[in-house]
């Protein structure tokens, strides 16, 4: 009898579209999404970085902080044959920061650069309880802008994050933003939270009781009903901000308003990691259910110093690719696998479509010719299952007029289009 082979818990396979029960696991959708992410990042002037899949454990312990969930219970840590402690990366910022320090030279070197705009798209590993939208191996697209201190750069990064959602056709997304103030403000606030919560410690959930000493800000993230009640009346970050930090955040909010970027100020948004200060933000999609966060990030001006380096201001964010694709498959304008599906309504018309397909492919787009003679309705269904946004239909009448009916499968609109205008007429695959 053959033995059962199974992938490790919390992982998934990315498969050809025809096998996938769930469209977000299709390799075509992954490629499409990755292409768009590269493109959008490059448009904002970011360069790609790829770092090792594992790093020294110490990097994450020092950078993410020992009290975070990631370090305290989620890392895949192992000793290699030389007894070095290594960890599969649970997040992307630390590897990027390490690579900048290691490869970027010292201030004063001829190749030293003060500013870096980098992005990555890589697998991450966290030992979490698997559920929809939460895996043990998942993928993040993240950006890190190092050397940028001005408050305006926070707005630029938020704008980039929103542009990513827009380019992927994810419309149902809310930007939540908050400030944690400077590290001094944060320390003051941490103390105030501890003072407020300690007398009620017995009422807190078990997890929050553990967080109270080391990482009380995380209690604000808790979804436990007994914690929520206490949190409602907890002191807010805002009350503990210095005038300078308050003004910084006010300017950011004003610029968001001027740019007509919809946002919600969420005073309880703190993000899990120890290294954030000032602006923190999250992009949330209601269509995702319990794991509603598509991505998030914030400013981490203290991280370089925490790692024993010269201080450098920095800001970044990370999106979960799985969640982006789950949101895309639910939203309008979902990603498509084929640019143009060509249907001929007679033998001669099918042959004629081959010429058009050649033109389309020559222009760098994908085309599939429907070669099996069948009713139009069936052919359109086939176009749909190939994920085609556009369909070119030709019968004898169109052949005579040297054109095709060009159908937009999303808007369900159709119009006549001369053959020589087809390539320039249908929408770009990646915007």
Q: Could you list the residues that contact ligand AMP (CB under 6 A)?
A: 91, 126, 128, 133-135, 138, 140, 272, 293-296, 318-320, 322-323
Kindly tell me which of 140 and 353 has the beta carbon lying closer to ligand AMP. 140
User: Distance (Å, rounded) from C-alpha 363 to C-alpha 157?
Assistant: 33
Question: What DSSP line would sit under 181-241, residue for residue?
Answer: -SHHHHHHHHHHHHHHHGGGGGGS-HHHHHHHHH-GGGGGG---HHHHHHHHTSPPGGGG-
Pick between residue 64 and residue 340 the one whose CB is nearest to ligand AMP: 64
**292 Cβ contact list (under 8 Å, min separation 6):** 284, 285, 286
Q: Which is nearer to ligand AMP, 312 or 323 (CB)?
A: 323
In the complex, minimum distance from the CB of residue 293 to ligand AMP, in angstroms, rounded to a whole number: 4
Minimum CB separation from ligand AMP for residue 169, in Å? 17
Write down the least CB distance from residue 68 to ligand AMP, Å.
Answer: 9
Q: Pick the closer one to ligand AMP by CB: 133 or 403.
A: 133
Question: Which CB atom, from 51 or from 140, has the smaller least distance to ligand AMP?
Answer: 140
Which residue is closest to ligand AMP by CB? 320
Query: Least distance in Å: CB of 135 to ligand AMP?
Result: 4
Sequence-distant contacts of 163-168: CB under 8 A, at least 24 apart: 163/40, 163/44, 164/36, 164/37, 164/40, 164/319, 164/324, 165/283, 165/294, 165/324, 165/327, 167/36, 167/39, 167/40, 167/430, 167/431, 168/33, 168/36, 168/324, 168/327, 168/328, 168/335
Q: Please give the structure tokens belonging to residue 355.
A: 């010429």
- In this structure, are residues 320 and 295 in contact, taking their beta carbons and an 8 Å threshold? yes
Q: How far is the CB of 285 from ligand AMP (least distance, A)?
A: 10
Q: How far is the CB of 175 from ligand AMP (least distance, A)?
A: 13
When the beta carbons of 176 and 359 are compared against ligand AMP, the nearer one is 176
How much is the CA Rg of the chain, to the nearest whole Å? Answer: 26
């Amino acid at each position: 009898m053959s033995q059962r082979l199974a992938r490790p818990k919390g992982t998934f396979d990315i498969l050809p579209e025809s096998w996938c029960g769930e469209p977000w696991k299709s390799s075509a959708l992954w490629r499409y999404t990755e292409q768009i992410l590269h493109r959008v990042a490059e448009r904002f002037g970011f360069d790609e970085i790829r770092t090792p899949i594992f790093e020294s454990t110490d990097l994450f312990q020092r950078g993410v902080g020992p009290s975070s969930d990631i370090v305290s219970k989620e890392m895949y840590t192992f000793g290699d044959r030389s007894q070095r402690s290594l960890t599969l990366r649970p997040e992307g910022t630390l590897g990027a920061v390490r690579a900048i320090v290691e490869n970027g030279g010292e201030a004063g070197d001829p190749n030293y650069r003060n500013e870096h705009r980098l992005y990555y798209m890589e697998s991450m590993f966290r030992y979490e309880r698997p559920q929809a939208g939460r895996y043990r191996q998942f993928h993040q697209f993240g950006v890190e802008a190092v050397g940028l201190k001005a408050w305006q750069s926070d707005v630029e990064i938020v704008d980039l994050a929103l542009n990513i959602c827009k380019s992927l056709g994810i419309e149902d997304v809310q930007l939540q933003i908050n400030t944690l103030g400077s590290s001094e403000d944060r320390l003051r606030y941490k103390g105030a939270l501890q003072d407020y919560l300690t007398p009620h410690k017995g009422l807190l959930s078990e997890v929050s009781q553990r967080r109270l000493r080391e990482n009380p800000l995380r209690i604000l993230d808790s979804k436990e009903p007994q914690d929520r009640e206490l949190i409602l009346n907890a002191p807010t970050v805002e009350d503990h901000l210095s005038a300078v930090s308050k003004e910084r955040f006010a300017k950011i909010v004003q610029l968001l308003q001027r740019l007509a970027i919809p946002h919600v100020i969420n005073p309880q948004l703190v993000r899990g990691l120890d290294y954030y200060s000032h602006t923190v933000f999250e992009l949330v999609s209601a269509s995702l259910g319990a794991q509603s966060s598509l991505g998030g990030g914030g400013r981490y001006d203290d991280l370089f110093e925490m790692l024993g380096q010269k201080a450098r201001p920095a800001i970044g964010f990370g999106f979960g690719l799985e969640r982006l694709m789950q949101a895309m498959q639910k939203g309008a304008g979902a990603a498509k696998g084929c640019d143009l599906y060509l249907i001929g309504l007679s033998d001669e018309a099918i042959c004629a479509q081959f010429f058009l397909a050649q033109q389309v492919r020559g222009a760098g787009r994908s085309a599939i010719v429907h070669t099996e003679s069948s009713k139009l309705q069936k052919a359109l269904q086939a176009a749909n299952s190939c994920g085609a946004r556009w369909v070119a239909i030709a019968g004898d009448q169109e052949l005579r007029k040297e054109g095709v009916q060009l159908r937009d499968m999303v808007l369900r609109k159709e119009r006549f289009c001369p053959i020589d205008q087809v390539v320039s007429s249908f929408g770009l695959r990646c915007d």
